[in-house]
C-alpha cells in the first residue's frame, strides 16, 4: 500500500477541490509562476537561466525567499479540505487498513475494517477519531478515507459473529446507490491514472532529460542508479491508461468494464519489481549527491522549470513504489461495489487476485535480492573454495544439513555438510578442531539429477546396508550418489527440500527472475571487503518498513509502522529511514 495511505483514495467531495490545479495534487499555492524559459528538447539552457532568472543557485534562493509556495502547506490541499469539511459539520469517515493495538488510553484502538469518524485531521500523522463511544488519537497511515463518504453507515459491511461479513446487508442498498458508488470508484481510478502519467512525464522530462545534458555532473551509471527503469514504467503506463480510457463509459461510468485492462497488463507490471529493488540505491545515491550544494540547486531548478509541486526528488521517485501497491486497494474497492451480475465482475475479481500476485512477486524478488548478499558472505567464509561462485547459477538457499555420503568403489562413508541451492548442491567438510570452519569439497549439478527414495536394508548398487537413505542419479552419466540421514524425519525434510528446489527453478523460469551480472559482482565485492575487514556487516532492517514520527505535547511520540505492501502485517520496530514520510508523498489523491 502507498504510504501514507490516508490520502490514497479520496471521496469525490475532496477530489473536486483539486480539479482546477495543474496536476490535481494540491489545491493552493499555484497562483504565481516563475517565468523561466523551457527548452523544447528538455535541455537545461544555462545561458537562459543566467540571463533571465540568474544562476541555478539564485533561482533556488529566490524560490526559498518567496512567500509563495508550489507545495501544499499544512500537509496538502487534501488535508485542508478534510478539516474544512469537518469544520462545516460534515462527517468524514475512514476505514482501518490494519489493526491498531495500543495500551495508551489517549489512543484509539481498532481492527482492520473498522470505520472511524475523523474528527480532527490538523496533524499530518496523528488524527483524532471516534468509534462508537471511544475517542482518541490514531495513526493516519493506518487508515484510508472512504471513496463514498455519502454511503450511509448502516449500508457499510457489518461484521457478524464468526467474523464473516453480512452479505445480505452489504448488497441490501438500492441499485441506484450502488451504481453511484461504482461510478465514484471508476472515476477515481481513471483520474489518478491520468495524474500519475503527468507525474511520470514530469520526472522523465523535468529531471532525466535535463540531467543527460549535464555530462559534467552525471554519468549514465549514476542516472541509472537514481532513476532506475522509470522511463520503461512511463511507456508502460501510457499504454495502460489508453486501454483504460477505451473501456471507460463516459455517459454511464458504472457500466465501464476495466477489469480486463489489469489482466492484460499484469505481466508488464512486473517491471515495477526492478524499480522497487533499485529504489534503496537511488535514495543512497541522492543522499550522497545532495551533500553538494550544486546538485541541490540543480535539482531545484529542474523542478521549477517543469513547474512541479514543492517535493524533493527523492519524494517524486517514491511514487512508483506506492502506485503498484495501490492497485489491489482500488480493485478491492471496485469489487465491493460491483454486483455479481455485472459484466465486469469476474474480470475485476480476477484482476484483484492478479495484482495481489504482482505485489507478492515484487516482495519475493526483493527478498531474493537481499539473499544474494548473504550467499556471497557465506561463500567468502568457506575455506579452499574452488570453481565458479555460487551466485553464477544460484540465488536461493533451499535447505542445509549434515548427511553421510557413501562413495564408490569402497563404499566409504563420510560425514559432510550439504547446502542445497537452486540448481546445485554444495558439499563441505567441517574442520576437525574448529567445527565452525568449513572447507569446500565438491558440488552436484541438480539440473541433471533425479531423486530416488531408498528403502531401509541392503542397497544393490553399493552392496551395503543402509537406513534413512536416498540417492541422486545423473540421467546423462548414470552416476549415482548415496546419502544417509541420521533420522527418518531428517530424510523426509531432504526429500521435501529437493522438491522445493525443482519448484523454485521452474517458478523462476516462468516469471523470468534473474540476477544481473552487476548485482552478482557487487555482492561478491562487498563480501570480499567484509571478509578482509574481519568484522561482520551491520544488519539493516527491511527496506520497505516505513515509520512516521511526530513529537507533539498532546500526541503520541512514536508511531506504529506499516509495510508498503498490503500483503504483510505491519511491524512496530522503530526506524529512522524517513524523518518525514509525508514530505515524500507527492502523488496523493
User: What is the per-residue pLDDT for 526?
Assistant: 83
- Is residue 587 over pLDDT 70? no
Which pLDDT band, with edges at 50, 70 and 90, does 2 fall under?
very low
Q: Comparing 504 with 17, which gets the higher pLDDT? A: 504
Burial class from Cβ neighbours inside 10 Å (0-12, 13-18, 19+) for residue 88 reads: exposed
User: What is the per-residue pLDDT for 259?
Assistant: 93
- Is residue 47 over pLDDT 50? no
Which pLDDT band, with edges at 50, 70 and 90, does 368 fall under?
confident
Contact 100, 129 (CB under 8 A): no
- Is residue 409 over pLDDT 70? no
Q: Which of 7-16, 508-517, 568-577 has the lowest mean pLDDT?
A: 7-16
User: What is the per-residue pLDDT for 148?
Assistant: 61
Which pLDDT band, with edges at 50, 70 and 90, does 50 fall under?
very low
User: What is the per-residue pLDDT for 154?
Assistant: 45
Burial class from Cβ neighbours inside 10 Å (0-12, 13-18, 19+) for residue 246 reads: exposed
Q: Comparing 550 with 238, which gets the higher pLDDT? A: 238
- Is residue 532 over pLDDT 50? yes
Q: In angstroms, rounded to a whole number, what is the distance separating the alpha carbons of residues 420 and 441?
A: 14
Q: Comparing 563 with 249, which gets the higher pLDDT? A: 249
Which pLDDT band, with edges at 50, 70 and 90, does 310 fall under?
confident
Q: Average of pLDDT values for 37-44?
A: 36
User: What is the per-residue pLDDT for 147?
Assistant: 64
State the cell numbers at 65: 525567499
Q: Average of pLDDT values for 20-29?
A: 28
Q: In angstroms, rounded to a whole number, what is the distance separating the alpha carbons of residues 228 and 415?
A: 47
Burial class from Cβ neighbours inside 10 Å (0-12, 13-18, 19+) for residue 515 reads: middle
User: What is the per-residue pLDDT for 475?
Assistant: 85
Contact 179, 43 (CB under 8 A): no
Q: Which of 69-78, 257-266, 403-412, 530-539 has the lowest mean pLDDT?
A: 69-78
User: What is the per-residue pLDDT for 88?
Assistant: 76
User: What is the per-residue pLDDT for 477?
Assistant: 86
Helix, strand or coil, per DSSP, at residue 563: strand
Give the pairing type, strands 397-407 and 412-421.
Answer: antiparallel
Which pLDDT band, with edges at 50, 70 and 90, does 384 fall under?
very high
Could you report the per-residue pLDDT of 128-178, keeping only the tens digit for each? Answer: 999 988 899 998 877 878 766 655 554 444 443 444 444 434 444 444 688
Among the ranges 83-87, 283-287, 398-402, which has the highest mean pLDDT value? 398-402
Could you report the per-residue pLDDT of 326-352, keeping only the tens digit for each? Answer: 888 889 989 999 999 999 999 999 999
Q: What residue ranges define each of the domains in the chain, with the CATH number in brackets?
A: 76-145 (2.30.30.40), 178-372 (1.20.900.10), 396-512 (2.30.29.30)
Could you report the per-residue pLDDT of 423-478, keeping only the tens digit for each? Answer: 999 999 998 888 789 999 999 999 999 999 999 998 888 888 999 999 999 988 88
Contact 249, 255 (CB under 8 A): yes
- Is residue 26 over pLDDT 70? no
- Is residue 315 over pLDDT 80? yes
- Is residue 551 over pLDDT 80? no
* 539: CB partners within 8 A, 6+ apart: none
- Is residue 375 over pLDDT 90? yes
Q: Which of 97-111, 256-270, 274-288 has the lowest mean pLDDT?
A: 97-111
360-367: list long-range contacts, CB under 8 Å, 24+ apart.
360/567, 361/270, 361/273, 361/511, 362/270, 362/272, 362/273, 362/276, 362/324, 362/565, 363/544, 363/565, 363/567, 363/568, 365/273, 365/277, 365/513, 366/273, 366/276, 366/277, 366/543, 366/544
Mean of pLDDT over the chain: 75
What are φ and ψ of residue 242, in 5° steps? -65, -40
User: What is the per-residue pLDDT for 534?
Assistant: 52
Q: Is 196 left (phi over 0), alpha (psi -120 to 50) or beta?
A: alpha
Contact 274, 228 (CB under 8 A): yes
Q: What percent of the chain has pLDDT over 70?
A: 70
Contact 344, 257 (CB under 8 A): yes
Q: In angstroms, rounded to a whole number, what is the distance separating the alpha carbons of residues 175 and 202?
A: 41
Q: In angstroms, rounded to a whole number, what is the distance separating the alpha carbons of residues 508 and 395?
A: 10
Question: Could you tell me which of 84, 91, 131, 126 has the C-alpha nearest to residue 109?
Answer: 131
Q: Comparing 502 with 105, which gets the higher pLDDT? A: 502
User: What is the per-residue pLDDT for 527?
Assistant: 85
Q: Average of pLDDT values for 226-242?
A: 95
Q: Average of pLDDT values for 524-541?
A: 60
Q: Average of pLDDT values for 277-300?
A: 90
State the cell numbers at 483: 546419502
Among the ranges 57-66, 459-468, 554-563, which has the highest mean pLDDT value? 459-468
DSSP character string of 149-186: TTS-GGGSPPB-TTS-B-HHHHT-S-HHHHHHHHHHHH
What are φ and ψ of residue 18, in 5° steps? -110, 10
User: What is the per-residue pLDDT for 110?
Assistant: 85
Q: Average of pLDDT values for 502-527?
A: 84
Q: Comparing 443 with 589, which gets the higher pLDDT? A: 443
Amino acid at each position: 500500500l502507498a504510504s501514507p495511505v490516508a490520502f490514497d483514495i479520496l471521496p469525490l467531495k475532496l477530489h473536486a477541490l483539486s480539479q482546477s490545479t495543474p496536476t490535481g495534487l494540491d489545491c493552493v499555492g499555484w497562483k504565481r509562476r516563475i517565468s523561466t524559459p523551457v527548452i523544447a528538447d528538455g535541455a537545461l539552457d544555462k545561458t537562459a537561466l543566467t540571463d533571465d532568472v540568474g544562476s541555478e543557485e539564485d533561482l533556488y534562493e529566490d524560490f526559498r525567499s518567496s512567500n509563495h509556495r508550489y507545495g501544499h502547506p499544512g500537509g496538502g490541499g487534501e488535508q485542508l479540505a478534510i478539516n474544512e469539511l469537518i469544520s462545516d459539520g460534515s462527517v468524514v469517515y475512514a476505514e482501518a487498513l490494519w489493526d491498531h493495538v495500543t495500551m495508551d488510553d489517549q489512543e484509539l484502538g481498532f481492527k482492520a475494517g473498522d470505520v472511524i469518524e475523523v474528527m480532527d485531521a490538523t496533524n499530518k500523522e496523528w488524527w483524532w477519531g471516534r468509534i462508537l463511544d471511544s475517542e482518541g488519537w490514531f495513526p493516519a497511515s493506518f487508515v484510508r478515507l472512504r471513496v463514498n463518504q455519502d454511503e450511509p453507515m448502516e449500508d457499510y459491511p457489518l461484521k457478524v459473529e464468526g467474523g464473516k461479513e453480512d452479505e445480505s446487508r452489504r448488497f441490501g442498498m438500492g441499485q441506484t446507490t450502488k451504481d453511484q458508488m461504482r461510478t465514484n470508484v471508476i472515476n477515481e481510478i481513471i483520474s489518478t491514472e491520468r495524474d500519475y502519467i503527468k507525474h511520470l512525464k514530469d520526472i522523465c522530462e523535468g529531471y532525466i532529460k535535463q540531467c543527460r545534458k549535464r555530462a559534467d555532473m552525471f554519468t549514465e551509471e549514476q542516472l541509472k542508479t537514481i532513476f532506475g527503469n522509470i522511463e520503461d514504467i512511463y511507456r508502460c503506463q501510457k499504454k495502460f491508461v489508453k486501454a483504460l480510457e477505451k473501456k471507460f463509459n463516459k455517459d454511464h461510468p458504472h457500466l465501464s468494464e476495466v477489469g480486463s485492462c489489469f489482466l492484460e497488463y499484469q505481466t508488464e507490471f512486473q517491471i515495477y519489481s526492478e524499480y522497487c529493488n533499485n529504489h534503496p540505491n537511488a535514495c543512497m545515491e541522492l543522499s550522497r549527491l545532495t551533500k553538494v550544494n550544486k546538485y541541490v540547486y540543480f535539482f531545484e531548478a529542474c523542478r521549477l522549470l517543469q513547474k512541479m509541486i514543492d517535493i524533493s526528488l527523492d519524494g517524486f521517485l517514491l511514487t512508483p513504489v506506492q502506485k503498484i501497491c495501490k492497485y489491489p486497494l482500488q480493485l478491492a474497492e471496485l469489487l465491493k461495489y460491483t454486483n455479481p451480475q455485472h459484466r465486469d465482475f469476474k474480470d475485476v475479481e480476477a484482476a484483484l487476485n492478479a495484482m495481489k500476485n504482482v505485489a507478492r512477486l515484487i516482495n519475493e524478488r526483493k527478498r531474493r535480492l537481499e539473499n544474494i548478499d548473504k550467499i556471497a558472505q557465506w561463500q567468502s567464509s568457506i575455506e579452499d573454495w574452488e570453481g565458479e561462485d555460487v551466485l553464477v547459477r544460484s540465488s536461493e538457499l533451499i535447505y542445509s544439513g549434515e548427511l553421510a555420503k557413501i562413495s564408490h568403489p569402497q563404499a566409504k562413508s563420510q560425514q559432510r555438510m550439504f547446502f542445497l541451492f537452486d540448481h546445485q548442491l554444495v558439499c563441505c567438510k567441517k574442520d576437525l578442531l574448529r567445527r565452525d570452519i568449513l572447507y569446500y569439497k565438491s558440488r552436484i549439478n541438480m539440473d541433471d539429477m533425479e531423486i530416488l527414495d531408498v528403502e531401509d536394508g541392503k542397497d544393490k548398487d553399493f552392496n551395503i546396508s543402509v537406513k534413512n537413505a536416498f540417492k541422486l542419479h545423473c540421467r546423462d552419466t548414470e552416476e549415482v550418489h548415496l546419502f544417509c540421514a541420521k533420522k527418518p524425519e531428517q530424510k523426509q525434510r531432504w526429500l521435501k527440500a529437493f522438491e522445493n528446489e525443482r519448484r523454485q527453478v521452474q517458478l523462476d523460469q516462468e516469471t523470468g527472475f534473474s540476477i544481473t551480472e552487476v548485482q552478482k559482482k557487487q555482492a561478491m565485492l562487498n563480501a570480499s571487503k567484509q571478509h578482509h575487514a574481519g568484522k561482520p556487516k551491520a544488519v539493516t532492517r527491511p527496506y520497505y518498513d516505513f515509520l512516521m514520527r511526530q513529537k507533539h505535547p498532546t500526541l503520541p511520540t512514536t508511531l506504529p509502522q506499516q509495510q508498503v505492501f498490503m500483503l504483510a502485517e505491519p511491524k512496530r520496530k522503530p526506524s529512522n529511514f524517513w524523518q518525514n514520510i509525508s514530505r515524500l508523498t507527492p502523488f496523493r489523491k
